[in-house]
Structure 1
């Protein structure tokens, strides 16, 4: 199967309200261009330097999403162009994104990463940390970021019941976020959950954005 065929098959399978992020980390530019030529415009990378290099080489109508864990000292390299940062898991990181966005005269959209998996290896906030962040004075004064929703990763397991439970919990947290008054920097509309192995379950649980790599580009 070609990248183009894989992509079209997945897109035909997705409901209209679900956005597809093609996870292109470690893949060479010609592979990304094959997806681009098939109509894909949103690509997800997990290393800022690799994303910046690809951004330099590829068409400028691409939306670049940072989907990996972000180190604060690297934010400045993506601030000029990144469209959405998926993995914001601390107030400190959000403050750095806000600072670098201001330097570039931009407002950068961010998703707050929630820890929903039973594995300790995953990053993310718990519900009380989310509440503390949103209620902090520092957050309220950030003018160059916009929190547009939440992101989370389920436990890596074949147990669909557990995955469903974790995604359902994240959807409930997302719904509670939507009950808060929207402000300039809090406008939740995106729930990013689901990858190649579990995106169908994620969509059934309410995901509006899926991150799919190996099912498009082949295994790494």
Structure 2
């Protein structure tokens, strides 16, 4: 509680700093700042801190755990744009879709099974198609979720051709095990995008690249990222009072 109180007021200041850094990195990449979306990742943080960032004008937030997202979503206004950015288990799909009406995107589709579960859940609810990203394991680590780079096209095609209630919107990577990435990770994802866009007949501007977090988001933006996921830089170090589950 003391740590949370200490952060009160700091989150909105941190947001301004992050947006300034994003703006500079975007300009270095030859793009406008509004071409890069910042997902404020509030894992383990209380809603009061999210509300502070919301009141400062930010609208896009992300969570790693289904239960935490389902609990937090009703406590922020309906115009909040929620991204789910954690590993999604098939038995939690219905809870996520039904519990978060303003869910804007699932960034972590890593196989056909989870895509099919999401497609059915969205269809059963009758909501508009849900934007999804295909998660790619760019670092080759066995502990990481994500399809191998060689398989991202097949999964992207499956979503585009066989999941009418989903909207394929791009690719995502986490990076290395310590949550930092190298230029190689980012180059791999950019190469995957080129392959996917060519095969699907879409422009690269229509295909998001979600890569970069607190430790490496400026480099990611310089290398073409259109979505960055910022947690600790905005909200401080994560707090784990008890074991979390998806």
TM-score calculated relative to the size of structure 1: 0.90
Does 1:5 pair with 2:16?
Answer: no
Whether the 8 Å CA contact 1:157–1:163 is kept in 2: the answer is no
Match of 2:190 in 1: 171
- Between the aligned partners of 2:54 and 2:73, the Cα distance in structure 1 is 13
- Between the aligned partners of 2:170 and 2:154, the Cα distance in structure 1 is 16
The 3-state SS of whatever aligns with 1:22 is strand
- 1:179 Cα deviation from its structure 2 partner: 1.3
Structure 2 unmatched runs, 5+: 1-6, 27-32, 239-246
Whether the 8 Å CA contact 1:177–1:188 is kept in 2: the answer is no
The 3-state SS of whatever aligns with 1:83 is strand
Cα deviation code 1:4-38 (max 9, x no counterpart)? 11001111221311100000111100010011011
Give the stretch that moved more between structures: 42-51 or 117-126.
117-126
Does 1:19 pair with 2:37?
Answer: yes
Structure 1 unmatched runs, 5+: none
RMSD: 2.0
Aligned length: 214
- Between the aligned partners of 2:177 and 2:165, the Cα distance in structure 1 is 34
Pairing partner for 2:107 from 71, 86, 94? 86
The 3-state SS of whatever aligns with 2:199 is coil
Match of 1:132 in 2: 154
The 3-state SS of whatever aligns with 2:207 is strand
- 1:177 Cα deviation from its structure 2 partner: 1.5
More helix by share: 2
Match of 2:242 in 1: none
Q: Return structure 1 stretches of 4+ with deviation > 3 angstroms.
A: none
Match of 1:147 in 2: 168
